[in-house]
Amino acid sequence: MFERLTVTVAQMRELDRAAIRDYQIPALLLMENAGAGAARVIRASLGPSLDGGVLVVAGTGNNGGDGYVVARHLHNAGHEVAIAAAAAPASPEARCNHDIARALGVEILPLDEPARWPRAGVVVDALLGIGISGALRPPMAAAIEAILLLGEAGARVVAMDVPSGLDADTGRPATPTVRATITTTFGACKAGLVAELARPHVGELSVIDISLPRALLAPLAGGAR
Amino acid sequence: MFERLTVTVAQMRELDRAAIRDYQIPALLLMENAGAGAARVIRASLGPSLDGGVLVVAGTGNNGGDGYVVARHLHNAGHEVAIAAAAAPASPEARCNHDIARALGVEILPLDEPARWPRAGVVVDALLGIGISGALRPPMAAAIEAILLLGEAGARVVAMDVPSGLDADTGRPATPTVRATITTTFGACKAGLVAELARPHVGELSVIDISLPRALLAPLAGGAR
């Protein structure tokens, strides 16, 4: 309904906050809709590449949590899935989904040893979300470099919310920044994703309904609906 | 992946229990996938009828909880939605989704006053799930009668999990039993839904993936996959 709306990072944070605080929507439920929606897009768009296996590269934040949800849905759909994960997840929701993926038997490898990552036809970039700004810390930069190499070797790369390294407000890419085949963005499109200089990084853009109340989105959409 | 599997009520209860207990999958998350999936089927199949508005008829159990999730997703998608609800929901997950629907401003009417129910192009039967057996209590029978009347007047009826009144093991209909245009069944098809005597009540059958672990479903599927 609000596919053409774009929001700033500050607006997106307020949307999430209001959904959780004013409408009592559990954050776990928003995360589930995000990851399940991304998994549907991947299955609909990248079927043949899925036969080469899936590698989810997960950060410690909620972006990583979205990645664990994608990993679960693709595993349940019968695909070979592995996860390269940073340290323990930082939020209860991300931890919950990490624990489910582990209980399912999805292999979880260390983020900082890309040489050990398995081959994959599809790489899910769930490293960094809309929260980042400024220079990348070295382990993050190294993981992004590894994702870029997999993409150059032929893997399809699907970014969760924004390609890691991209400034979600301005679209300015950090050095390095993921180059996605598809970016699935959650709840509403971020302004930076449609900026001209973001284009080589974003790929095909898909906005996923995560069940944000329409009463929160409508005032932002104005005439753009 | 397991679309052709059929399970008994006892097997389905054990699947839910094992998903929650052995894999730490929150029941809220299974309910969200059920309701979001049903809302997607409704939007894909019954588009024009949605313009006549949606009435969700919700029981007190988790079947009602699935209905509240459908109500939220259809409301957010821009449709006119009202709910006819029995007394307060019995489980924390159903209550959570009841409270979100109320916070969204979805109108909630009493179940036992069908004369006050609004007109609707789509009626969601979220009254009774797989748990029932034996004779229906009078308020449930009256609500089913009211749904049957709406169906006879032209509304499309979508059953959550099983048409209310139908025995999910045998397919035997109680008096009365809902007649659905579509039945969206959750996690795995129930044996009774494919029984010959259930046919006039089930309508088109759609199995919704609620994120049950494939390791739980695979042993039940045997050669039927």
**Do the Cβ atoms of A23 and B211 come within 8 Å?**
no
Mean pLDDT for each consecutive 10-residue tract of chain A (225 residues)?
A: 90 98 98 98 97 97 97 98 93 98 98 94 97 84 97 98 97 97 98 97 98 97 61
- How much is the pLDDT for A223? 52
Q: Radius of gyration (Cα) for chain A, nearest Å?
A: 16
- pLDDT of B203 > 70? The answer is yes
Per-residue confidence (pLDDT) for residue B225, from 0 to 100: 41
Contact A25 B213 (CB under 8 A): no
Query: If pLDDT is split at 50, 70 and 90, which confidence band does B223 have?
Result: low
What integer is the mean pLDDT of B177-191?
98
Give the pLDDT score at B132: 76
pTM of the full structure: 0.97
Q: Which of B22, B24, B78 sits opposite A1 (nearest CB)?
A: B78
Residue B103 pLDDT greater than 90, yes or no: yes
pLDDT of residue B3: 78
- Cβ neighbours of A23 in B, within 8 Å: 100, 103-104
pLDDT of residue A224: 42
Task: Tell me the average pLDDT across B218-224.
Answer: 78
Residue type, A129: G
**According to the model, what pLDDT value does residue A3 have?**
78
Pure H helices in B51-189:
62-76, 92-103, 138-152
Q: For residue B222, how many other CB atoms are within 10 A of its CB?
A: 8
pLDDT in tens, B37-71: 999 999 999 999 999 999 999 999 999 999 999 99
CB within 8 Å of chain B, chain A residues 1-30: 1, 22-26, 28-29
Q: ipTM of the predicted structure? A: 0.96
| Cβ atoms < 10 Å from Cβ of B96 | 22
- How many beta-carbon pairs below 8 A join chains A and B? 76
Q: Cα separation of A193 and A188, whole Å?
A: 11
- Write phi, then psi, for B136 (nearest 5 degrees): -80, 140
d(CA A190, CA A108): 30
**Mean pLDDT of the region B100-104:** 98
